[in-house]
Amino acid sequence: MRSWSSWERQRPPAHVARRSDAEKAEWTAGTIGRVSRPDLSAPPDLRPLECGEVFENPVTRERAVIVELPWQNRDGRAVAEMTALPGARVVGEHMHPALESFSVLEGELTVVRDGHRSTLHAGESAQIEPGVWHDWFNKADVDAVVRVEVTPGERFAHMIETLFGLAREGHVNRKGMPNSLQLALTAQEFFRRHRLP
């Protein structure tokens, strides 16, 4: 399991975040070799998502490995194995029209559903029905590894790709929310039903 210290070395310091894309790419190339997308030094990547792709968000301290894509099953389900470092949390309380389930594989995860907080331990699961406000975070001292399933999941897979990419490129605030320009571009797709942190 990767520790936070190895992730922190991957996040561009503030002086690098203000540099040009080419300069950021040069810094990133030496520190983030495993992440599938985005490659700041390459032309736009138009390939469809694939299972096994890795996305890391240095701001929210999450890592996602795509396990199953919605167009690979009849239910339209997207599945990711998420690693949440101690202190990690999603961008903010949100709801969506999809069914979401969490299965904790290692560690523990705090889940808030409609204002009710519970802690899931390894081997425990929770389901979030469509239209229910929810949030989650890792307040433990160890990494949490969680299998997340979202049905229908097409927007979920693209949201991870988009938000984690924006975080890696320095286009989010300290809570992981896209800056105002990026938020204007992504809000229609991902944040119609999201409470801003």
Domain count, the chain: 1
Residue 195 lies in a domain: no
The residues near 1 (Cβ < 8 Å, ≥ 6 apart) are 83, 106, 143, 145
Residue 196 lies in a domain: no
Neighbouring C-beta atoms of residue 67, cutoff 10 Å: 16
Residue 56 lies in a domain: yes
Residue keyed to tokens 């097409």: 154
Residue 197 lies in a domain: no
Domain range for 113 is 4-190
Q: How do beta strands 116-121 and 144-151 pair?
A: unpaired
CA angle 101, 103, 109 (to 5 degrees): 100
Q: How far apart are CA 10 and CA 69, in angstroms?
A: 27
Q: How far apart are CA 108 and CA 106, in angstroms?
A: 7
Instruction: Supply the pLDDT for residue 118.
Output: 96
Instruction: Supply the pLDDT for residue 22.
Output: 55
Residue 78 lies in a domain: yes
Whether 12 shows a pLDDT value over 70: the answer reads no
Q: CATH number, domain at 15?
A: 2.60.120.10
- Average pLDDT of the residues in 90-113: 91
- Average pLDDT of the residues in 163-182: 87
Whether 93 shows a pLDDT value over 50: the answer reads yes
The residues near 118 (Cβ < 8 Å, ≥ 6 apart) are 110, 111, 126
Residue 58 lies in a domain: yes
Average pLDDT, the chain: 79
- Average pLDDT of the residues in 36-54: 75
Residue 79 lies in a domain: yes
Instruction: Supply the pLDDT for residue 148.
Output: 96
Of 99 and 95, the structure prediction assigns the larger pLDDT to 99
Residue 95 lies in a domain: yes
Nearest of 29, 90, 28, 81 to residue 57 by alpha carbon: 90
Whether 33 shows a pLDDT value over 60: the answer reads no
SS3 call for 68: strand
The residues near 116 (Cβ < 8 Å, ≥ 6 apart) are none
User: Do you find a cis peptide bond into 38, omega within 30 degrees of 0?
Assistant: yes
Whether 28 shows a pLDDT value over 50: the answer reads no
